[in-house]
Amino acid sequence: MVMEATVSPFPDDVEVLKALLATATQRADDAEARLANACARESATEAVIAHLKLQIAKLRREQYGASAERTRRLLDQMELQLEDLEADAAEDDLVAEVTAAKTATVTAFERKRPVRKPFPEHLPRTRVVVPAPCSCPACGGNRLSKLGEDVTETLEVIPRTWKVIQTVRERFSCRDCEKITQPPAPFHVVPRGWAGPSFLAMLLFEKYGQHQPLNRQAERFAREGVPLSTSTLADQVGAAAFALTPLYRLIEAHVMAAERLHGDDTTVPVMAKGKTDTARLWVYVRDDRPFASTDPPAALFHYSRDRRGEHPRTHLALWSGILQADAYGGYGELYAASRQPGPVLAAGCFAHARRKFFELADVAAAARKKSQSERAGMIYPIALEAVQRLDALFDIERGINGKSAAERLAIRQELSAPLIAELHEWLASQFAKLSRNHDLAKAINYMLRRWDAFTRFLDDGRICLTNNAAERALRCVPLGRKAWLFCGSDRGGERAAVLYTLIQTARLNDVDPQAWLADVLARIADCPINKLNDLLPWVWQPQRR
């Protein structure tokens, strides 16, 4: 039986195939632009709905009065939710504009932006006149006649002094050829924006570095004579976060290139339907300064809606090395020997282990409670001895901090290894005498079950004794929770991760985050992609303007 040959649906002519590929690419670009437009339209609609709901709630409160303090808190929650929705809409609007620029058939969606009142007249104006050409660019004639000028006003802040910068672009006509010329308009970080880079840097740093929500910042600005709505400020935050995302990606690549990482996470409440959910902010810190490395430190934040183990596995999917973290079970699969691209080696945190004993041997806390006629917990001699044994290890570490990995390893083998061997023998003997449900037994078992992870520092001078680097980087989140209460949405949590990454990395490199952000926001629009590395905190040199 003769089998029929399979007929290919594609032609054999190379030129025809190129034409088909070009058509398919154009269709894909059109589809991407339409999808981005739809997302931008949806974000804008959600922001409008949230704004209307907030107005209705405020009107009802004015009409019926506040029945409880909870009403005020609910209004604050709605304002924070609106803040994130407005920022989401600003980001999606920019994505729609970028994707539409790739096509000739799709027009970018333009949402109705928050109405902004003119800048107050009492603010001083500084005129910055863009130099006009000395001759006509069209014909070379020098008989230029001024026709008028366009003034672009940018709101800027100079430490506690407000002013409006007027950038003047004069128009000239050539008397020889009647050609009208004018310098190009100045760029803004936010397209068609009105906020200067220093103002944006202050806005971002106050929100994510000083934990001041936008509604409180707006109240402060109004007291200083510059009334700006929360929606207007949120619009700038979303667009600025979009502009800074390339730097976040560069920091992410730098952190993931490390051979050793500190990892940790903390809770962050996030707005949900009629309640708040407990989401998570994860941090991975690259800090090799303890063993005299010249690699710059950096902190990378991620956001997730929950604490499932799939999140750290996704964050570290392409990474292998030494992970210093707590005993969270979600890291378990990372430690598998068969894992690709390689197994992750666990390094235990002695600060976590010591804390469990310290709570059972806190003499000062027990005395304080007793003096206040409160019930004090029992002080266990075993716990006290465990703390003293662990403190001996910390004393050795303080003496070798900042030395090279080889020096640290040699001193650990000489001084720490005998102490660790004695500690293991002592813990095992005490554990055998205790009930399995006793708090002391749980604290001892925490170490014995992970003994390989706790002793790994004896074989590698790069490993630190604790995971304090990650805990220090995360400290900004619990400090801010009391101020901003929760994230308004998942997108708000992701945006917080981006800005926390930038601000905490700047702090780790002893760079003023606000000054750095101001300079970066002033330069990033004109910075070529291959020069973005020059804006990273550990490379950055402020530009003189």
Backbone torsion region of residue 494, taken as left when φ is above 0, otherwise alpha when ψ lies between -120 and 50, otherwise beta: alpha
254: its two tokens: 């730098």
Sorting pLDDT into bands at 50, 70 and 90, what band is 66? very low
How long, in residues, is the chain? 545
- pLDDT, tens digit (0-9, with 9 covering 90-100), for 385-397: 999 999 999 999 9
485-513 residue pLDDT tens: 667 788 888 999 999 999 999 999 999 99
Cα(201)–Cα(537) distance, rounded to whole angstroms?
14
Instruction: Decide if pLDDT at 95 tops 50.
Output: yes
Rounded-to-integer distance, Cα 216 and Cα 377, Å: 42
Going from N- to C-terminal start, the domains of the chain cover 21-100, 117-193, 194-348+467-545, 350-463
446 touches 356 (CB < 8 A): yes
Please give the average per-residue pLDDT across 51-58, as a whole number: 69
Residue 371 pLDDT exceeds 60: no
Q: pLDDT: is 19 or 115 the higher one?
A: 19
pLDDT, the chain, mean: 85
Q: What is the CA radius of gyration of the chain?
A: 30
Asked whether residue 542 carries a pLDDT value surpassing 70, the answer given is yes
Q: How far is CA 139 from CA 145, 169, 172, 175, in A?
A: 15, 21, 13, 11
Q: What predicted TM-score, i.e. pTM, was given to this entire model? A: 0.76
Residues 6+ apart with CB under 8 A from 112: 44, 48
In sequence order, what are the residues at sequence separation of 6 or more whose Cβ sits closer than 8 angstroms to the Cβ of residue 393? 350, 416, 419, 420, 423, 465
Residue 91: its H or E element: helix 69-100
Of the listed ranges 80-94, 366-380, 402-416, the one predicted with least confidence: 366-380
The arithmetic mean of pLDDT across residues 288-295, rounded, is: 92
Residue 101's identity, in one-letter code, is: A
> Does residue 211 contact residue 479 with C-beta atoms inside 8 Å?
yes
* pLDDT score of 311 more than 80: yes
- Model confidence at 343: pLDDT above 60: yes
Long-range contacts of 495-498 (CB under 8 A, 24+ apart): 495/84, 495/87, 495/237, 495/238, 495/241, 496/208, 496/268, 496/281, 496/301, 496/303, 497/281, 497/301, 497/302, 497/303, 498/241, 498/244, 498/245, 498/248, 498/301
In this predicted structure, the answer to whether residue 4 has a pLDDT above a threshold of 70 is no
Two tokens at 197? 């880079």
pLDDT for 397: 93
Cα dihedral sign for 212, 218, 222, 224?
positive
Model confidence at 545: pLDDT above 60: no
| Per-residue pLDDT tens digits for 428-476 | 999 998 888 888 999 999 999 999 999 999 999 999 999 999 999 998 8
% of residues, the chain, pLDDT over 90: 44
